[in-house]
Amino acid sequence: MGIFDFLTGEFIDVIHWVDDTRDTMVWRFEREGHEIKYGAKLTVREGQAAVFVHEGQLADVFTPGLYMLETNNMPILTTLQHWDHGFKSPFKSEIYFVNTTRFNDLKWGTKNPIMLRDPEFGPTRIRAYGTYTIRVKDPARFMVEIVGTDGEFTMDEISYQIRNIIVQEFSRVIAASGIPVLDMAANTADLGKLIAAEVAPVLDTYGLEMPEFYIENISLPPAVEAALDKRTSMGLAGDLGKFTQYSAAEAMTAAAQNPSGGGGMGAGLGMGMGMAMAQQMASGQPGGPWGTRPAAPAPSVAPPPPPVERVWHVAENGQTSGPFSRARLGRMAAAGEITRDTYVWTAGQDGWKRAEDVQDLAQLFTILPPPPPGA
């Protein structure tokens, strides 16, 4: 091999990058002491950008395409080198390839609970997590603000900072939204758009953008969730007295079947609870199951809770009002504000019914004669 062929081989004349990773954002073209030949070919594929850095200064940025590295294609570098159109010698510059595709399925989450004031529960704490995507929007700004001289910059090196920005804006938006915790699940799409809009200006200063942002879950502390589940169970039970009897029966069964700590003690406890329930049920029925009514309830049995007054909602002209007590509805009936045909609803009732079809309210209209037949 002649000296000319050796010198020709020392000069790089083909520059390109094929990314075989999933998290590389920036990769520096390694020259290993080789110089770049004037007129070399630069290949920039779709989803890439090539950034030239000459003597510490950011020069030209190339978008996808095939380029011949000449003065007409490198205006900034030509100015920095003081080249004229006849300059043909090799030159040295650092070349960085920037991945401009989306980095998907990136995770975010609240490291600590977020304090907020809920309209229904009062002061409470929530946690949340989800996913987002990131892409480089401005390669030059990204190189200057984030990468610097890093020869291989990965997504892991900036994901922690992005998560901090997301959590900060999420906390601020959620605390100021005023949306009840129980309604947040139905508004995650709108909340995600608000948070992405708040994060966008900060990412723009880095040369990044967030095309997608998702909230997968918003949860309460375990103690609050347990209390909420109990409240839901009580609502489903309906009658508090029946719910208490059901809970006592469940406890009796569990105690009788518990083999640990002595099966005799569990069985004795279950038998005692069963006898107490039998006495309570017998005291509320004439004659009881043994044909006699106890003279007085057992001292250990607490009296049943007072009945809960029912309240009603009224529907007129497509609008609902209430709730109203039965006494208030009586005054409204006397004043002509509601009639027999007014639709009402209360908890536990199967749909809306006319007031005269509800046994508890039909008596409110007996002071006036019903409409004549055929009216």
Give the pLDDT of residue 54.
77
Neighbours of 192 (CB within 10 A): 19
- The per-residue b/e assignment along 326-355, b for 16 or more CB within 10 angstroms, e otherwise, is eeebbebbeeeebebebbbbbeeeeeeeeb
Query: Residue 272: its pLDDT value, please?
Result: 57
* pLDDT for the residue 239: 60
Return the number of other C-beta atoms located less than 10 Å from residue 188's C-beta: 16
CA 25 from centre of chain: 28
Nearest to 36 by CA among 83, 87, 90, 88: 90
**What is the pLDDT, as a whole number, of residue 8?**
43
Identify the pLDDT of residue 210.
Answer: 95
Nearest CA to 125 out of 191, 171, 162 is that of 171
16, burial (CB in 10 Å: exposed 0-12, middle 13-18, buried 19+): middle
Q: Answer whether 101's CB lies under 8 Å from 90's CB.
A: no
Q: What is the pLDDT at residue 207?
A: 94
CATH number of 312-365: 3.30.1490
Residues of the chain above pLDDT 70, percent: 71
Nearest to 77 by CA among 93, 96, 63: 93
Q: What is the mean pLDDT of the chain?
A: 77
Please report, for the chain, the start and end positions of each structural domain, with discontinuous segments joined by +: 3-99, 103-222, 312-365
Between helix 188-204 and helix 156-177 the angle, nearest 10°, is 130
31: Cβ–Cβ under 8 A, 6 or more apart, which residues?
Answer: 12, 92
Any idea which residue has 């395409």 for tokens?
Answer: 65
* pLDDT for residue 195: 92
**Three-state secondary-structure class, residue 210:** coil
pLDDT at res. 39: 76
Tell me: the pLDDT tens digits for 7-48? Answer: 444 455 788 889 888 889 999 887 655 467 777 888 999 999
Predicted local confidence at residue 301, as pLDDT: 67
CATH, range 103-222: 3.30.479.30
The residue ranges of the chain whose pLDDT is under 50 are 1-10, 34, 85-86, 263, 282, 286-291
**Per-residue pLDDT, 100:** 93
E-only strand ranges, the chain:
11-15, 24-28, 35-44, 48-54, 57-62, 65-68, 94-99, 103-109, 114-118, 122-136, 152-154, 208-209, 213-219, 312-316, 319-324, 343-345, 353-354
Question: In whole angstroms, how far apart are CA 272 and each of 120, 229, 252, 275, 278?
Answer: 40, 29, 9, 5, 10
